[in-house]
Amino acid sequence: MYDKTVRRRRAVLGLLVACSLVLLTAYFGETGGGTLHGVQRGTSEVLSPIQEGASRALKPVRDLFGWFGDTIAAKGQVEELRRERDRLRSEVLRNEVRSADYDRLARLFELDGALDLTERGPKTGRVIFQSPTIWYATIRVDKGSKDGVRVGHPVINERALIGRVTEVFAGSAQVTLITDTKTKVPARAGPRGEFGIVEPASAGNPTDLVMRFTRPGARISTGDRVVTRGTEPDDRAQSLYPVGLPIGRVTRIENEGTDTQEIHLRPFADMRSLDFVQILTDPRGSDG
């Protein structure tokens, strides 16, 4: 009886390990349009409304989390005053959330005006999901193909470029951030607009990007702003990102003046607290 139980347990373990390895190998080997990717996209499509609903439903919990300590400190008051206090606190909390949302949206629109992005079809969306693991720097927003969003569209927040759309569903879209190890952004820095490619300095570090492939004698110094390069007239392919979107500020330069110099920059956008973003649904605007 004992042997039978052990055999059964080991058989199930072996079967599940084999299933995982088969899934991993098949998924890794197939193209983006393969069966497993299709199943994954289909499931995500079905679950998107649930996630969105859960995200909205749990927003008060997320907001409450921040001031939970304050609530504990107010235990000694009389019942009536406590009820009144709770009501007022809820009201204040709602207003604070609205105020914070308003500030972020206002800054988004300010950035639109400053960079003249209004002709690039910006669509404002709310972040409804953030990747739970540090190995995938992705978020999901509540704007999808029915809002005109397509794969490749650049995404900004109220401060700077944050990434690009990599998957689109009917009512939502997956955005891969510029801190993801797969992302590379053509950029310019310094007074002469020196060219380079911006990518994450290391996995799981949302505050450090690195600009590589710059000219050895490039005049770039600490504190310089780094912006997207856009498409030049003699380029063979169109860049995904329009020209001039802010990315970050140079913090230090390694191996300065050599072929392998690395220019480290801190992104303007805080990738750990994204609430509202804008998807540029017409990235070429009047240029295209």
Partner 1 sequence: MIAMTPQLLARLAGLGVLGVVVQTAAVSQLPLAGATADLSPLLVMAVGLLCGSLAGGSFGFGVGLFADVVSLQTLGVSSLVLLVIGYGAGRLREARDPEGTLVPIAVGAAATLAFGVGFALLQFLLGVDAPVSWALLRQLLATLVVNTLLALPVYALVRRSLQAALPDDPRRRRRRAYTTGGLSPLSRGMEVRR
Report the interface residues with partner 1, using CB under 8 A: 5, 8-9, 12-13, 16-17, 19-28, 36, 39-41, 43-44, 47, 50-51, 54-55, 58, 61-62, 65, 127-136, 138, 167, 174, 181, 200-205, 207-208, 272-273
CA–CA separation, 197 vs 211, rounded Å? 5
Q: 3-state class of 24 per DSSP?
A: helix
Which of 41/159 has CB closer to partner 1?
Answer: 41
Nearer to partner 1, 58 or 81 (CB): 58
Q: Residue 286's beta-bridge partner residues?
A: none
Tokens of 202: 């290391």
| Least CB distance to partner 1 at residue 264 (A) | 12
Nearer to partner 1, 194 or 199 (CB): 199
Using CA atoms, how far apart are residues 267 and 198, in angstroms rounded to an integer? 10
The β-bridge partners of 199 are 210
Q: Residue 126's CB: how many other CB atoms inside 10 A?
A: 17
Adjacent-strand bridge partners of 244 = none
The residue to which tokens 């329009």 are assigned: 242
Residues in CB range of 193: below 8 A, 6 or more apart: none
As measured in angstroms, the least distance from the Cβ of 192 to partner 1 is 30
Taking the complex as a whole, the smallest distance from the CB of residue 186 to partner 1 amounts, in Å, to 18
Nearest distance in Å: CB 164, partner 1: 15
Q: How far is the CB of 21 from partner 1 (least distance, A)?
A: 7
Nearer to partner 1, 139 or 220 (CB): 139
Nearer to partner 1, 97 or 201 (CB): 201
How far is C-alpha 241 from the chain's CA centre? 15
